[in-house]
Structure 1
Amino acid sequence: MNPDTQQPAPQLLVGRRWLLPSALAKEFDLDPDRPGRPRRTARDWVVDFGCFLLAVFLGLVTADTVAREDIPSGLAAADQLIGALACAAVWLRRRWPLGLAVALVPVCFVSNTAGGAGIVALFTLAVHRPFRYVAWVAGASVALSPLYFWLRPDPDLPFASAVVLVVVLTGAVVGWGMFVRSKRQLMVSLRDRARRAETEARLRAEQAQRLAREAIAREMHDVLAHRLTLLSVHAGALEFRPDAPRDEIQRAAGVIRESAHEALQDLREIIGVLRAGESDDSGRPQPTLAALEGLVAECREAGMKVTLDQRVPDRAAVPASVGRTAYRIVQEGLTNARKHAPGTEVTVTVTGVPGEGLTVAVRNGAPQGEVPPVPGSGQGLIGLRERATLAGGRLEHGPAADGGFGIRAWLPWG
């Protein structure tokens, strides 16, 4: 193979990508395709103005040292002019952090009053760029400091003390800048984690609602199958017994008409929810409002203190879908009370008449002592609210003034 046509190894490109001219141009902000920076906020203006004032203050402090050095007045004036230009360049630190820091290294070598601008530029570089660039710039500054003090000795400090002071000051600026950078990255990470947690919580709530819809659809499927089977049996009886007495034919026709009407009602309800991919083959009858007494008796046998106040004149007249929803609300309320407030008295109240709706309330007192944590999905109340909403009603829950907890639902009946 012709060596001129060989391509460089991919791992070399990955490992030394930051040394390529294109990557270095991006770090220097010289890439023409790089998107523009956002406008400065009020806080950015305050910080930039503070950095400019700091650079000017340090430049004025060192200007006094320049005035006391044994150098020609022309060089002293040039030193201060270069320092003033360096302080003005501090306003470019956000746009070109690496370029400004690199440019100020030779500037600070020839101008003592530009030292404040160099410190600000090095700090900005440590905040906005990776450590490898900070190490090169800080290392170049430290390496040039002995030569600088050998050419221009400080009138107040010995040579070794001046060099050590520059090294310590450079390390402190780099360390503080890296600390600020790490803190910013941590805050960004925490915000991203909080957004992910909110997204996951929303997805879990949506999943709980979907599972509740599927459960309701399965229940409606069983009830609808029961009604259609009853309708088919009576229709088959009429087909095979055309000579049956008139009263029996009339009664069978009434049952068929009523079953068809109720089947249509259930079909309208089941269309409004998701159909589950799995069917419930347990064959157990779906609970209704009449099964509340059995549920309460079962809880009492388990050791709970439950008071049932059921003031419904005609429980048989309650629609099956409404009765199932009321049963599930009471069942979930008793389960929560048993888990989170064991030993407290629970009051179950069911009231309603046709035309005004059915009201279901489950309330328990404050738990006695510390309750050990009980594992659970935490989505039961979300599923109950979804049930009540799909049934055309509403559900509210929350802590009571005495430290207990209550669930209250209203379901349409009429």
Structure 2
Amino acid sequence: MATVDIAPGAPGFGWWRTRRGAAFDVVLALAVTLVPVVLWLLAAWVSPLLPPGGTTGQLAIQLQDLSFAALLGHLAGSAFDLALVARRRFPVVVALVVVAAEAFGHATLLGLMIALYTVAAHGTSRALLAGVALLAAVAGLKPWNWTDVPSTAELYLVLGFTGVMVVVAVVLPIVLGLYMNARRGLMASLRERAKRLEREQTLLARQVRTEERTRIAREMHDVVAHRVSLMVVHAGALEMKPDREPATVAEAASRIADIGRQALGELRQAIGVLKVDNVEDSAPLAPQPTLDDLAELVEQSRSAGVPVDFRVEGRRRLANVAERTAYRIVQEGLTNVHKHAFGARTEISLRFLPDRLEVSVRNDAPRRSSGIDLPSGGHGLAGLRERLTLVGGEFESGPSGGGFRIVARIPIAVPAG
């Protein structure tokens, strides 16, 4: 059993520095010191009550020999037990003082037991604890008094009785002190572990919140940026040519309203997910976009005046999360065309290879300015990189032939989690 070294000011042992702890040690030291006095007073009170003659008469004579000088002698002898006041500040020193006093009959057995318990309970090193225990055992046995034993039989009797007393007064207090020290060490370890787990849980919760905020921001951007850019493009076209036929204006207004309703529906769905406490108990969510929705997405851009060439090569075989990622890539690519290259010829290709899907969105240089100012925060491409990282894919973007190109490679087998 390893000892735990606990400094006087360390948590778990610093309580003795308080007034209550100091008062307890003072009361304990006085109580141990005054035990002989209490016994002497009891003897003095009982002495006159013993009948003369026989064994009780001899005991009465011995008790009558107790005098005030004997009382002072007992007080002077047990005064060494007052050192217990500092037992927790200087446990080894106090134990050595009490052991030395016990060797010459100037300390009580109870004081010795308390001193040894304190040494063991305070995490004293094994070597020092063993030395103090050995000295205490020698002081308890008092081998220098064995020469006064008249016979071998009585010597064995004295040795047996003294050995039992040594076990009771030396071994048991030390074992109890070691147990208390180990228990304090275990409790300190459990407290530290609980604090560490609490810190880890706090960091984990913070990380989860950060990731959730990032995901929500990414979804909001995907929903708002594309739909709103289409609405701005259609509205800008009406603004540039206000003299259009009423039927054309009505058709454009209807298209803007449809796009706005779609944006509101997707936003309402995203916000609804945030409000429910239990996703399993919430109302069914609208289906997430997949490759089946790309045709409608492309048609909306075409109707806004963007010439889009869309083609698919290979056999379709993707998980839902991968299809949703592919949809968002095309969506963001078209959004960038609306913002920065309106009217430029755009090519969208999906190539299903044996181990991956390759998505490419490329636009030529813009032929003319649309006259529509659409702000850009630069979050779209960063969001695409995050999406591709989540599914174990690759992402590239950059200028291409005067225009711009984004390429994403999505693995057929999406990693779990």
TM-score range, shorter chain: 0.3 to 0.5
TM-score, normalised to structure 1's length? 0.47
* Structure with bigger gyration radius: 2
TM-score, normalised to structure 2's length? 0.46
